[in-house]
């Protein structure tokens, strides 16, 4: 059998990514939802006060989509506060319904946020102190290099997350896309995160807990191995501006070779 190429992977992606139709009910249902926030700038620095137990750990999900796995995770972890975010009201409308089904009518440990994560520094500040961020199957933006800055793992975004992650806070990342995964390993390294877990085949590795997301399920069914990593934020800020850094092939190769040596003990 011929080896799968990048364009095969891209075609699979195009065939499998669901194009959400506008859902007329989504906006009114979200507007009436007491745990929905549109925009979020007014809450900056005061997000914890929106929860019944502000002192509890705060976990966030960036680009949650329809929240299929997110809803199960939130139901299983009532002692953790969650903020789940996406830019699309249509997917968030479905996420809200999934949450109600999994957690009941009035879940006290979740807020749904509609916002553009590329400007997330306007929405969260250091006082919000997140312990963990999940980024699952973000759009890989591999077709044109100039689009890479829109990736939810691009240094432009990672340097914003640094502002509101607690020291030692973690980012949990999953993707089907090899190019996005390798580029992201370099991005996290540049932005002052250490890799504490890494696998090129999450399901073979048997990592737990793992809540299978909508996109994860699709790629599993196609036989695409799921790549995953956990990154921990180091206290020291990078001593240069990674958002202006050009990821040339030479820089990328050297960084990946070094990271490969450093993470040789990880499975997958």
Ligand X SMILES: C[S@@+](CC[C@H](N)C(=O)[O-])C[C@H]1O[C@@H](n2cnc3c(N)ncnc32)[C@H](O)[C@@H]1O
- Check binding of 136 to ligand X (CB under 6 A): yes
Q: Which is nearer to ligand X, 231 or 255 (CB)?
A: 231
Burial of 191 (0-12, 13-18, 19+ CB in 10 A): buried
Per CB under 6 A, which of residues 213..242 are in contact with ligand X? 213-216
Q: Which is nearer to ligand X, 77 or 263 (CB)?
A: 77
Minimum gap (Å) between residue 195 Cβ and ligand X:
21
- What are the CA-CA distances from residue 201 to residues 5, 115, 124, 142, 171 (Å)? 18, 31, 33, 21, 18
Contact 190, 238 (CB under 8 A): yes
- Check binding of 13 to ligand X (CB under 6 A): no
- Check binding of 86 to ligand X (CB under 6 A): yes
- Check binding of 64 to ligand X (CB under 6 A): yes
Contact 172, 232 (CB under 8 A): no
Q: How far apart are CA 173 and CA 182, in angstroms?
A: 12
Minimum gap (Å) between residue 118 Cβ and ligand X:
5
* Binding window for ligand X (CB under 6 A); candidates: 39-47, 58-66, 226-234, 242-250: 58-66
- Check binding of 89 to ligand X (CB under 6 A): no
Binds ligand X by CB under 6 A, chosen from 23, 107, 125, 139: 139
Helix H or strand E segment including 68 = helix 68-76
165, β-bridge pairs: 130
- Check binding of 155 to ligand X (CB under 6 A): no
CB-based burial, 96-129: b 16+ in 10 Å, e otherwise: bbbbeebbeeebebbbbbbbebeebeebbeeebb
* Binding window for ligand X (CB under 6 A); candidates: 40-48, 137-145, 194-202, 228-236: 137-145
- Check binding of 137 to ligand X (CB under 6 A): yes
* Binding window for ligand X (CB under 6 A); candidates: 35-43, 105-113, 201-209, 211-219: 211-219
- What are the CA-CA distances from residue 144 to residues 128, 149, 262 (Å)? 34, 10, 30
Minimum gap (Å) between residue 73 Cβ and ligand X:
12
The residue ranges that bind ligand X (CB under 6 A) are 63-65, 86-88, 91, 116-118, 136-139, 213-216
């Amino acid at each position: 059998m011929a080896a799968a190429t990048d364009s095969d992977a891209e075609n699979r992606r195009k065939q499998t990514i669901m194009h959400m139709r506008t859902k007329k009910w989504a906006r009114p249902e979200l507007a009436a939802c007491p745990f929905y926030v549109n925009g979020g700038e007014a809450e900056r620095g005061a997000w914890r006060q929106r929860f019944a137990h502000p002192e509890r750990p705060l976990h966030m999900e960036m680009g949650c989509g329809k929240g299929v796995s997110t809803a199960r995770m939130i139901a299983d972890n009532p002692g953790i506060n969650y903020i789940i975010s996406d830019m699309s009201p249509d997917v968030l409308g479905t996420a809200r319904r999934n949450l109600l089904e999994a957690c009941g009518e009035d879940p006290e440990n979740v807020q749904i946020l509609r916002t553009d994560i590329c400007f997330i520094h306007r929405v969260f500040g250091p006082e919000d102190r997140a312990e963990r961020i999940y980024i699952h199957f973000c759009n890989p933006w591999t077709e044109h290099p100039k689009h890479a800055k829109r990736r939810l793992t691009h240094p432009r975004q990672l340097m914003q997350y640094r502002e509101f992650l607690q020291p030692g806070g973690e980012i949990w990342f999953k993707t089907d896309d090899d190019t996005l995964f390798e580029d992201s390993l370099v991005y996290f390294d540049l932005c002052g995160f250490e890799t504490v877990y890494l696998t090129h085949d999450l399901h073979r590795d048997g990592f737990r807990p793992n809540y299978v997301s909508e996109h994860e399920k699709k790629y599993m069914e196609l036989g695409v191995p799921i790549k995953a990593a956990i990154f921990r934020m180091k206290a020291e800020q990078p001593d240069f501006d990674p958002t202006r850094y050009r990821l040339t092939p030479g820089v990328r190769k050297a960084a990946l070779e070094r990271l490969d040596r450093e993470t040789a003990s990880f499975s997958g």
